[in-house]
Structure 1
């Protein structure tokens, strides 16, 4: 009897452990973002499988162009998933929605984060970071304001010339004043932030095209979330890539990016954030994947998504 009880306890512990284990998800868009949010899953961070038969989980309905590009999803401190996205190529606000299960989403909300700047051209690739200590959410994005940084204008000032901006919120209702997050004297977009120990790590894209093409991923670091980021590192990726998103799996960082001129995803890996190895030949994504965000969820979340798909779920 004692042996039987021990076996049952082990089975229960195994079951609980399995249920509480985590798996990786990737939020992404396809085409121009017109059909909305797509999700893929992976057990190892290398091989990614589309969920819901690669159909959209949420169709965009806000913004003048009604797009859902660059979907960034994180899990907040209230066990709720929060998502922000680009609603248009040329608009001064972004989209926001939340969910507890990645299936049922709140009403979509337009956040006018750059409406105080009448000359602002756009708000591209918003990203979220949740600071557990302060229970504060940071939203950062790239905006061009014509004439604001003439020293790095290209095309005689008619091209995009971005800098990174940010706002903070605790409830996605009230927001702090928009401020500059990153300006190191070059055209920058697609910044995303991770934290390791006491260091904030910003992966960003040097968007410079003239006089020399960069279009590559670099790293900046800071001991504070909202300021004092270092000069950008040397490139860790090839040129002509965008949309970095990063995660640490065991003792290895993986940074995924969109090789948009080749219409496929790529990645680099590192154990120390200094020496990087191109692992693009070791990853696979659903056809047509455009950049988004990698994040972890409980396996039970994935089980529910798959169960609904098997029962004919579609939006």
Structure 2
């Protein structure tokens, strides 16, 4: 028996390659008009995506029972946590549920986060990030508080800023605080950590005529985030999410006027290459977040999808 291949494989496993080989990418999704619930895409290479169908979790919190901008992160105990936008305006919080397999979900809850600001117009696109350094979850969202900040061409009820709260158990939350005021209306933020003590915020500049994706940098998860970049996408892009593929980071974004997804590749978050022509995303997919799961989890979803009542009536083409 030639033991070299065995020990070579063992060495790779010890270095984490086996774990990576068992992992696939999932992309949370919703379908307009956002009344059906949670959908998933999956990919084995981070570039080419397939539809896993849905809805996996119909929304039942909030007056309008919407589910937009679903964001999922897996905690250190293996539990998946999901947050989402429940309404265009009026709601001062977001939806929340958890699952161990992405198939069976806890009862849904509405998490109020802006009740102490009675003039708050909205709570949009809550995004989850688990910070290993502080063993806590950070939730970042966009809200408008009219006449709180200087504004540009956008109306006063669309002058957004980014806010945050933290939690360790999704039962108690810190009071909301301002997360980022870059001097202009901002929404759709997501945090990535390229390395120790390195944090990047990817977000949408929601001002007119910008409406594009930018990044900012910090040495702590809560900031301050500074050195806001020039736009890395064209106009009318939103809902960014970033994932690591090999040595690269891929930033996916919703080119909503073109009704398609685009993508940019970077290694340093300073230089970006448009790779839209190299990725494939099913039509009808609306923006969420990308996270990793095991192949076992994917197989469970695929097996369950054969028994799921797939709702594609709201997909846009």
- 1:313 matched to 2:308: yes
Moved >3 Å (runs of 4+):
12-20
Counterpart position of 1:131: 131
- Show CA shifts across 1:248-280 (max 9, x none): 110111000001111111111112222111111
Counterpart of 2:175 (choices 171, 174, 177) is 177
Q: Within the alignment, does 1:94 sit opposite 2:89 as a pair?
A: no
In the alignment, structure 2 segments of 5+ residues that lack a partner are 311-317
Aligned to 2:215, what secondary structure does the other structure show? strand
- Report how many aligned residue pairs link the two structures: 303
- Residues 149-193 of structure 1, C-alpha deviation per residue, up to 9 Å, x if partnerless? 1x21535x5440000000000111101011000001100001100
Contact map agreement 1:164 1:188 (CA 8 A) in 2 = yes
1:26 and 2:30 aligned = no
Deviations 1:213-247 (A, max 9, x none): 10111110101111211031011111110000001
* Other structure's SS at 1:302 match: helix
- Structure 1, unmatched stretches of 5+, are none
Could you tell me which of 268, 280, 285 is aligned with 1:272? 268
Counterpart in the other structure of 1:191: 189
Counterparts of 1:104 and 1:223 in 2: how far apart (Å)?
A: 37
Matched residue, 1:119: 119
In the superposition, relative to structure 1, how do residues 201 and 158 fare at CA in structure 2: closer, same or farther (>3 Å)? closer
Q: Distance in 1 between matches of 2:152 and 2:228?
A: 19
1:313 Cα deviation (Å)? 3.0
* TM score, norm. by length of structure 2: 0.90
| TM-score between the two structures when normalised by the length of structure 1 | 0.91
Question: Deviation string for 1:108-128 (max 9, x for gaps)?
Answer: 110011111100000000001
2:276 & 2:160 partners in 1: Cα distance?
28
In the aligned structure 1, how far is the partner of 2:20 from the partner of 2:254?
32
Greater shift, 119-128 or 158-167, is seen at 158-167
Mapped partners of 2:46, 2:20: distance in 1: 19
